Amino acid sequence: MEKVFKIAVLKGDGIGPEVVDAALEVLNTISQIYGVKFEYREGLIGGIAIDETGDPLPDETLELCLNSDAVLLGAVGGPTWDNLPQDKKPERGLLKIRKALNLYANLRPVKVFDALIDSSPLKPEVVRGTDLLVVRELVSGIYYGEPRGIYEENGKRCGKNTMKYCEDEIERVTRKAFEIARKRRKKVTSVDKANVLDVSALWREVVNRVAKDYPDVELEHLYVDNAAMQLIRRPSTFDVIVTGNIFGDILSDEAGVLPGSLGMLPSASIGDKYALYEPVHGSAPDIAGQAIANPIATILSAGMMLKYSFNMDEASALIEKAIKETLNQGYRTADIYSEGTIKVDTKGMTQKIVENIKRLANK
């Protein structure tokens, strides 16, 4: 009897539908090869959900996600909704779904493919071999802390946000990072600002305590400002980076520059029960509908879904191998195109990846 996995498909805004459709085509190919069935059920999120329901995350969408084995998301937002109140913007849908599904660990892999090494802004000898994973705490910290807001004090307008972490919130994301590191190169770098922030002092204390349960994994501590510098100086020396919400947000975007295009960067947001997969790039409204978006980040996100939600490690690795092969053959979307390579559109890149998946599966 074939396995059936229920996937909530939230295409979202801008290029979201285009890149999600590409990922679904790849998943359909994997379905044929491995004899599993993916059941897709679509829901609304972001700007399109606001337009149709007035809510960036309708109850129907949340219910759909709660009753699925995994969630595949495209992108949300765009200038159309920029003037809405803060709590009504498309991005609030993302924050709400992360909190509602308790997706406390955001995994952002950054891998520099040899075929694209010249696309990186860093020198080849610096960036070559980079293969790191940022594990960012996702449902606590300064983005969610209370009290918050803009208020008046002594005749002046002030703004306030609160960075707060409790021991259990730090421990669960740290354990996730160490467990993943055990299956990689067995090194964890914890990033904080323990020399200045009390919340970071607690973060470091908990990380050190958890590390004792993983004696086979090397632990390195870096202050966030130094970590930002070392990501540029020695990116290939990092394996797994674990850090809080705001530091992880900033550092993962910085690391995202290393491969040369956001179109190459997947992500997973994982909790104890639910998981959501999405490309790191935004909705790119300036190129939406032109069929030129790079689908690789979303395809790799689907590959992460196979690995982390469905325990299909072999299928996940096959997707990555096929992407590497496609790049080695010289195929490029506009964002990674250079003279001497072959420019293809979104569908063209997807088709080449699918062809290579089928060919490599039959070897």
Q: Which residues are catalytic?
A: 143, 193, 225, 249, 253
Q: DSSP for 206-256?
A: HHHHHHTT-TTSEEEEEEHHHHHHHHHH-GGG-SEEEE-HHHHHHHHHHHT
| Beta carbons within 10 angstroms of residue 80's beta carbon | 16
CA pair distance 135, 137, nearest whole angstrom:
7
| Beta carbons within 10 angstroms of residue 221's beta carbon | 17
DSSP-derived secondary structure letter, 150? E
- The continuous run of DSSP H or E covering 51 comes out as helix 47-53
Look at phi and psi of residue 278 and say left if phi exceeds 0, alpha if psi is from -120 to 50, else beta.
Answer: beta
CA pair distance 131, 91, nearest whole angstrom:
29
